[in-house]
Amino acid sequence: MRTIYVCEDSLTGIFSGIYEVWKRKMTAEEAGLEVGDSFERRLFCEYIFCKAEERKALAVIRMIQKNLGADVYEKISYALLSADRRKADMVFRAMLEAKKLSRKDRLMEHLGNEAVRAVFGMYRQVANEAHHYKGFVRFRELKNKTLFAKIEPKHAVLPCIAEHFADRFPQENWIIYDKTHEVFLIHEKGKRYYFLQQYMCMKGDSGSAQNIAGGFSEEEMDYETLWKGFVQSISVAERENRALQNQNLPLRFRTNLVEFSKEEWSDSPNFGEFSS
């Protein structure tokens, strides 16, 4: 009989789950972890739902930092932001593998192991998407000069890019809205940023900027037009290569990019379906 611990899909939730398994010194055969509430049930498994508890999570985090080092901890916490359903289980197994190693801080180099490879793969996916979004976030200025951006990432990358934008725009009020995970990242001028779950703030389609503060500023349209013009005129016609453009900038990112927005592409049938 295998015991499956089901945890909430958050860093605190997953680390709390790992706490339960680790405390009981269970092996990968005896225990597993699942995330969220929509997973497939298997036969001959006992399911235990664990609550997210800060105290337990912190204990695990400290243990990882102390024994495996800051670098491994960073990679693990990135991997746990992934959309991959196996993430909690794979992190648990990678931690078990670390027990066998003499240099535990080099866990992530042990790519011969399946679990480590999976965790490293998830880390890379999240880190890559986060890096993409450092470039692909597009702020639009609202009437009150606040900058608002909407993104739709696969993985929950907001925590990975928060520090970057806070450092870059310290004297601006700005909001980044992650529509996939329904989280706001909010930064007030000169203050520390914070995260806000959507269900905690308002009803209806809060993602559309118009609802937030009565629409865009007067200059916003001008700068968007300037930017669209720039993106067109900077391309060398003799070198046109749409395949390369698609490879470098996959279509899924374009829905929220000003330069690819509806007005721009309405006459191009290829892009019609992406202009929702």
Partner 1 sequence: MQGLILGKSEIQRSMTTQPIGRTFGTAPALFGGQKSLYEKLSILSDAAKYDVACTSSGTSRRGDGNGLGSCEKAGICHSFSADGRCISLLKILFTNECIYDCKYCINRASNDVERTSFTPEEVCRLTMEFYRRNYIEGLFLSSGIWKSPNETMEQIVTTLWKLRNEFRFQGYIHVKAIPGADERLIARAGFLADRMSVNLELPTAEGLRQLAPHKSRKNILTPMRLVQNGMSENRQEIQLYRSAPKFVPAGQSTQMIIGATPETDFQIMRVAESLYQKFDLKRVFYSAFVHVNEDKALPAAGEQGPPLLREHRLYQADWLLRYYGFRAEELLDEQQPNFNVLLDPKCNWALKHLEYFPVEVNRADYFTLLRVPGIGYKSAERIVKARRMGSLSFEDLKKMGVVLKRALYFLTCNGKMFGQVRIEEDYITRNLLQTKESLPDSVRNMNYRQLSLFDDVNFREINRMDGSLGCLAVLDESELKEKVAG
Site for partner 1 in 114-133 (CB under 8 A): 114, 117, 131
Applying CB under 8 A, the span of 50-58, 63-71, 84-92, 220-228 interacting with partner 1 comes to 220-228
Q: Which two tokens stand for residue 209?
A: 């900027």
How many residues of this chain interact with partner 1, rule: CB under 8 A? 57
Eight-state DSSP code of residue 201: T
- Residue 4: which of 75, 74, 88, 63 has the closest Cα? 88
Q: In sequence order, what E strands does 152-222 have?
A: 174-178, 183-187, 194-197
As a whole number of angstroms, the distance between CA 54 and CA 256 comes to 35
Report which residue type is found at 134.
K
Site for partner 1 in 51-110 (CB under 8 A): 101, 106, 109-110
Q: Does 155 bind partner 1 (CB under 8 A)?
A: no
Q: Does 229 bind partner 1 (CB under 8 A)?
A: yes
Applying CB under 8 A, the span of 49-57, 62-70, 193-201, 223-231 interacting with partner 1 comes to 223-231
Among positions 96, 196, 213, 258, the unique one binding partner 1 when judged by CB under 8 A: 258
Eight-state DSSP code of residue 176: E
Applying CB under 8 A, the span of 19-27, 42-50, 65-73, 224-232 interacting with partner 1 comes to 224-232
- Residue 126: which of 165, 92, 56, 76 has the closest Cα? 76
In the complex with partner 1, the residue whose CB is nearer, 46 or 109, is: 109
Applying CB under 8 A, the span of 62-70, 86-94, 169-177, 201-209 interacting with partner 1 comes to 169-177
Q: Does 191 bind partner 1 (CB under 8 A)?
A: no
As a whole number of angstroms, the distance between CA 200 and CA 183 comes to 10
Report which residue type is found at 211.
N
- Residue 253: which of 77, 82, 131, 70 has the closest Cα? 131
User: In the bound complex, what is the minimum distance in angstroms from residue 43's beta carbon to partner 1?
Assistant: 30
As a whole number of angstroms, the distance between CA 241 and CA 263 comes to 22
In the complex, the residues that contact partner 1 under the rule CB under 8 A are 101, 106, 109-114, 117, 131, 134-141, 147, 149, 164, 167-172, 219, 221-223, 225-227, 229-245, 247-249, 257-259
